[in-house]
Amino acid sequence: MRLYQGDEVRDVSVYSDEGFALLAELWLKVTCERKVMYEPSWLGRPIIQYPDDIVMMQEVIWKVRPDLIVETGVAHGGSTVFYASMLELLGRGRVLSIDVEIREHNRVAIERHPLSKRIDLLECSSVDPIAVEHAAAAARLATTTLVVLDSKHSCDHVLQELSLYGPLVTPGSYIVAMDGAQARVWDIPRGKAEWRDDNPLRAIDTFLERNHADWEVDAQYTRMAVTSNPRGYLRRKDR
Ligand SMILES: C[S@@+](CC[C@H](N)C(=O)[O-])C[C@H]1O[C@@H](n2cnc3c(N)ncnc32)[C@H](O)[C@@H]1O
């Protein structure tokens, strides 16, 4: 593979670590342009995720074995049903899913789904104190809480969510801040210039700077390389 950077031209082997990282980034840009992450469904509901990220979330949930998953960003309910299906396999637990707008047809489909018995939906902004209090009340009743942030992907919003929902996560469990890859796809044809600086990755870095005593990035969940969530799997350290 030949790289042109300014006046510099150099060859990089696609079999080297650098070549692998570059190809993964290229694949992310091309698939994001084609909205490939809108293709999958989970048990009948559309899920807006890359397949690799779905497998990684399965690993996190199976390892942590939460009895509460708080999710921000429901959309069509595919991720909600996915988390509920994992809890069903674990034999316990509930998903609390919060979205500022749950469209009627999506709500009906989620409520009619066989796994709806494990799902609570809340229509509210994730940073509204009502949503946070709802989640905190559920966390008080739970043994192990895991949080997934997949709502509005601006830096300010994700930083607020990390600060509000981070304290609900039990030590050893995770808060997963999704779509940091927005920072890497601002320059694709359907990208937006503002994504370069306004993205979840910045929120993650600021949150970690402020809270490094309690939180760390767990890089094993981004090892598949093509991920929407670089640096997004944040583990609350054990005390
Ligand atoms: C990327 S989609 C969620 C995808 C879903 N988690 C999945 O994997 O299929 C983002 C969702 O966030 C919601 N959203 C946007 N701003 C929000 C906010 N302030 N609070 C809660 N949800 C919000 C949108 O309505 C949209 O449904």
pLDDT by residue for the chain (239 residues), tens digit each?
Answer: 999 988 999 999 999 999 999 999 999 999 999 999 999 999 999 999 999 999 999 999 999 999 999 999 999 999 999 999 999 999 999 999 999 999 999 999 999 999 999 999 999 999 999 999 999 999 999 999 999 999 999 999 999 999 999 999 999 999 999 999 999 999 999 999 999 999 999 999 999 999 999 999 999 999 999 999 999 999 999 97
pLDDT computed for residue 5 by the predictor: 87
**Smallest CA separation from ligand 1 atom 22, residue:** 99
Find out whether the beta carbon of 101 lies less than 6 Å from any atom of ligand 1. Answer: yes
Give me the amino acid identity at 123: E
pLDDT computed for residue 175 by the predictor: 98
Strand locations in the chain, DSSP E? 2-5, 8-11, 41-42, 45-46, 68-72, 94-99, 119-123, 145-149, 174-177, 215-217, 233-236
**Smallest CA separation from ligand 1 atom 11, residue:** 73
Output the CA 150–ligand 1 centroid distance in Å. 6
Q: What is the pTM of this model?
A: 0.96
Find out whether the beta carbon of 75 lies less than 6 Å from any atom of ligand 1. Answer: yes
pLDDT computed for residue 84 by the predictor: 98
Output the CA 239–ligand 1 centroid distance in Å. 32
Q: What is the position in ligand 1's atom list of the atom closest to the CA of 179?
A: 1
Token output for 89: 């396999």
Output the CA 22–ligand 1 centroid distance in Å. 29
pLDDT computed for residue 171 by the predictor: 98
Output the CA 149–ligand 1 centroid distance in Å. 9
Find out whether the beta carbon of 161 lies less than 6 Å from any atom of ligand 1. Answer: no
Rg (CA), the chain: 18
Output the CA 119–ligand 1 centroid distance in Å. 16
Q: 134 near 147, Cβ under 8 Å?
A: no
